[in-house]
Structure 1
């Protein structure tokens, strides 16, 4: 069991580094221009679809299984409120790292839930690992570009993203050891994370999808959501 948690949490986290590598090659290949901006926005849209599917098919449905509906409503609202204040703090104190901090805000609670889930629902744990991996890829891609525009050196930035890839392993193991015998807290954490992710989507991500009257970019959300549906079919 422990080896499975380490492997799947590592696979879900390594896309943080892969997203940075992809952005590195993308930056070298595409200079400033219309096509570059369109690809970036399409990637953001795809990530949004993945996040919505994670909420729709894993976090909320399975969070509701062990939680009373009124408690679930409170937790989703609480997640949104907490992320609202954290987002404001990040924008004020660490504006240049806002994207990477937003990625960690949903990566950490999801990783904790991942570790706890493996104890009593192996298949669901695998699906959540897939969602986290697909979600981290576009988020780290955008984080790399944001930090590069702020003056970060390439080598330093790739090292940071590589190290952050292993955060999921640490928090997944914590989730397994601390929450595996308490499905109520695991469910509560999933609902809380759902509220936070919903806030981030519609505050920070969705407003950036509209780009120079190109409506086609928003189809990326549909593509991401469809990928989520396919992933959920394995449960």
Structure 2
């Protein structure tokens, strides 16, 4: 019984992940959609964060810092990614202005316990209104990732446990597309859980009926 209850927890009591609404990152003229949820039927409220950067025309790649969080033990009281706290921690640790930290992705990548944040940092002399930003407008993402890895206090950011900090040129997809195998597995799991509780309910009703019949037969 407890086993099935544990299985139901991520399906019913999800917190930051999986996301059930489109995610908007940054503010002002840099406000953009950094994650698209399949469960949210509302129109995407802002332009895609892809519009902020000049991605490679062939591959769609762009150099970013990618931070992966483990949500298992550090996100119980959070319903959404604490972007302001994240931005504050990054800016104070790297000694950059908060408004120069540009978040491009917040993605659960199809999991309930992992959150991936991808961001870049503008150089001080960059005109923030001159969109899209080219690689030359940004502080080198690889050097940022290297510096962050060396900072022991960044094992936790915005009260979330950091799993990995990496430099990458591969942007996470704005909208996660689950594989057919994953969808089939979830459907089977839900069917098994439903079937278990259905059989359990029938068994309890039958047991109560037998007990009632026994009581009637008693002298």
* TM-score normalised by length of structure 1: 0.25
Identify which of structures 1 and 2 has the higher relative contact order when contacts are C-alpha pairs closer than 8 Å and 6+ apart: 1
| Higher strand fraction (1 or 2) | 2
Q: Identify, as 1 or 2, the structure richer in helix.
A: 1
The structure with the largest alpha-carbon Rg is 2
Using structure 2 for the length normalisation, give the TM-score. 0.26
